Amino acid sequence: MNRPGSTIAAVATALAAGTGSIAIVRISGPGALSIGQRVFRPAGQRQVWESHRVLYGHVVCPESGQILDEVLLLYMQAPRSFTGEDVVELHCHGGLICVQRVLEQVLAEGAEAAAPGAFSQRAVLNGRLDLTQAEAVAQMVSARSHRAVELALAGLDGGLYRRLNGLRQTLLEQLAELEARLDFEDDLPPLEASTVEKSLQEVAKDLHQLAMEGQRGERLQQGLQVAILGRPNVGKSSLLNRLTGYERAIVTELPGTTRDLLEAQLVLRGVPITLVDTAGIRQTNDLVEQKGIDRSRDVLSQADVILLLFDASVGWSQGDQQLAHELPQNTPQLRVGNKVDLLADAMASLGPEFPLLVSANTGAGIEALIDALLKCCSLSEPEHLQISLSQRQFSLAQQAIQDLTRLFDTAEAGLPWDFWTIDLREAIGHLGEITGAEINESALDQIFSRFCIGK
């Protein structure tokens, strides 16, 4: 990461192919104002440099006086800025070349190129954000649906911090009670072990509920990868086209048409989905088709859900059963009968063990399929989710739950208070790592290195 106390700069807006109307170069640190004053020439003589005031002018090369871009400048004096430091933002014309010229001039004046997440890390270190809020910022930037943005906003508003900090404070209070008994047992009234254990059981229960809800929220944030698998010509590509609403895949009557993986991004009832249409798995002498089949098998190990598609007009065959046996056992599967429009009494002929029958051709049964898909991932009602946990946060919450579980074993064994405090401190520490109350700078570096540059 950047040196402590240095002045950093980066492009704070997205840089994609093509052009945009506006791009922002953000400068933060003790030298932000002086760098801004060196590279910026206001238009007219009456513009005053004041905090949170917008100035109009040009970015220039101080040595040659060459104009690099026409800009708006916004100066935010510490501590009233995102990072808590002096911040200068140069609002340039969009496009790769324009913004790059401005950034290069800022760096030439002494700023360091900001590392990924450097601005957010400084906001945490300077007390402008807690760690859960900073991670919510990253979630908001990467959100792929409206509901994912709402979850990120809840974290940015401090909702996750308040819930975790409340549980942590309860643990701290119980630890203080136990340590007081260790030091001043003769001077204090006796403490009932059952009372302490009951309070800690409530914390463990609330923490478990928070972890489960947060994990579901993280799935909504990251989206689901759904693999459509089946024997050749059962309608996998047709189903992908039906779900996406356009002809993403080529559909023919010939088996083996799909020879490589096809991906499609969509949002189903607020949940981002990556659909992967795999090559039909069968024995083949075609080298190209075989490579597609090998890739299909690789995708299965990474999928959140597998839609095992079969031809309902033919019925569940021995080949379908063999394919089902080859699937990863720990990945949720939905067996879906397609081409139900070709068999009027498909439900009766297949029996109740195959409740998901669809027609990719007519759209029959698609809504029921979506219901089942989201339900098997516990995302059938995403609007009820209130928080999202990153993988790091979920892992630490699980560790805190394990700490409390060991404490309950200690209580069951009738061991004295000092044994209780060992696991209680561990649980408090793990919750503190989530909120940032107990975390070292190297751990912060690792967390923010996964952020995008300029954030």
Task: Count how many domains the chain has.
Answer: 3
Average pLDDT in the 123-132 region? Answer: 92
Place 421 in a pLDDT band, splitting at 50, 70 and 90.
very high
- SS3 call for 110: coil
The domain boundary residue, chosen from 107, 130, 153? 130
Structural domain ending residue among the three candidates 356, 376, 396: 376
pLDDT tens sequence across 136-181: 988 888 888 888 888 888 888 888 999 999 999 999 999 998 888 7
Domain contains 447: no
Out of 21-30, 154-163, 246-255, 414-423, pick the least confident.
246-255
> Does residue 273 sit in the same domain as residue 332?
yes
CA–CA gap between residue 182 and residue 191 (Å, rounded): 11
pTM: 0.80
Domain of residue 86 covers: 8-130
CATH of residue 118's domain is 3.30.1360.120
Q: Is residue 39 part of a domain?
A: yes
Scored b (16 or more CB within 10 A) or e, 51-67 reads eeeebebbbbbeeeeee
- Interatomic CA distance for residues 181 and 417, integer angstroms: 8
pLDDT-derived band at 289 (thresholds 50, 70, 90) equals low
- Given a cut of 90, whether residue 121 has pLDDT beyond it is yes
Burial class of residue 287 (count of CB atoms within 10 Å of its CB; 0-12, 13-18, 19+): exposed
Residue 319 in any domain: the answer is yes
24 and 125 co-located in one domain: yes
Res 345 pLDDT > 80 = no
Q: Which has more pLDDT, 285 or 312?
A: 312
Beta bridge partners of 338: 311
Q: What is the pLDDT of residues 233-261, one digit of tens each?
A: 888 888 998 998 866 544 444 444 444 56
Looking at the fold, whether 123 and 199 belong to one and the same domain comes out as: no
User: What does the longest C-alpha to C-alpha distance in the chain come to?
Assistant: 86
Are both 231 and 369 inside the same structural domain?
A: yes
| Mean pLDDT of all residues belonging to the chain | 86
Query: Does the residue 449 lie in any domain?
Result: no
Could you read off the pLDDT of 43-85 as tens digits, one per residue?
Answer: 877 778 899 999 999 999 999 989 999 999 999 999 999 999 9
Give the pLDDT band (50/70/90) at residue 409.
Answer: very high
CA distance 52 to 333: 55
229, 323 contact by CB (below 8 A): yes
At residue 186, the pLDDT reads 61
Query: Is 25 in the same domain as 154?
Result: no
Same domain, 198 and 262: no
Q: Is residue 441 part of a domain?
A: no
Our CA dihedral for 20, 82, 71, 1, rounded to 10 degrees, sits at: -80
Residues 289, 337 within the same domain: yes
User: What stretch of H or E contains 56?
Assistant: strand 53-60
Residue 205 identity (one-letter amino acid): K
**Statement to judge: residues 246 and 331 lie in one domain:** yes
Q: Tell me what the mean pLDDT of segment 288-299 comes to.
A: 66
Q: What percent of the chain has a predicted confidence (pLDDT) above 70?
A: 88
User: Do 236 and 147 belong together in one domain?
Assistant: no
- Give the domain-ending residue among 130, 165, 188: 130
Over residues 121-146, the mean pLDDT reads 90
Would 34 be classed as within a structural domain?
Answer: yes
Q: Do 64 and 106 reside in the same domain of the chain?
A: yes
- Cis previous bond, 416, omega within 30: no
pLDDT (0 to 100) of residue 292: 61
| Least confident piece of the model among 55-59, 79-83, 127-131, 446-450 | 446-450
What pLDDT was estimated at residue 60? Answer: 95
Q: Both 184 and 119 in a single domain?
A: no
In a domain, 3, yes or no: no
Contact 300, 331 (CB under 8 A): yes
Average pLDDT over residues 175-195: 78
pLDDT-derived band of residue 290, with 50, 70 and 90 as boundaries?
low
Spatial neighbors of 104 by CB under 8 A, at least 6 apart, are none
Provide, rounded to the nearest whole percent, the portion of the chain with pLDDT above 90: 45
Q: How many CB atoms lie within 10 A of CB 335?
A: 18
CB 137 within 8 Å of CB 119: no
Concatenated DSSP letters for 270-329?
TEEEEEEEPPPP-----HHHHHHHHHHHHHHTT-SEEEEEEETTT-S-HHHHHHHHTS-T
Kindly report the CATH number assigned to the domain that includes residue 199: 1.20.120.430
- Supply the Cα-derived Rg of the chain in whole angstroms: 29
- Considering the domain boundaries, does residue 440 fall inside one? no
pLDDT in tens, 358-403: 999 899 999 999 999 998 888 877 777 888 898 899 999 999 999 9
Residues 341 and 260 occupy one common structural domain: yes
- Cα–Cα nearest to 80, from 35, 128, 8: 128
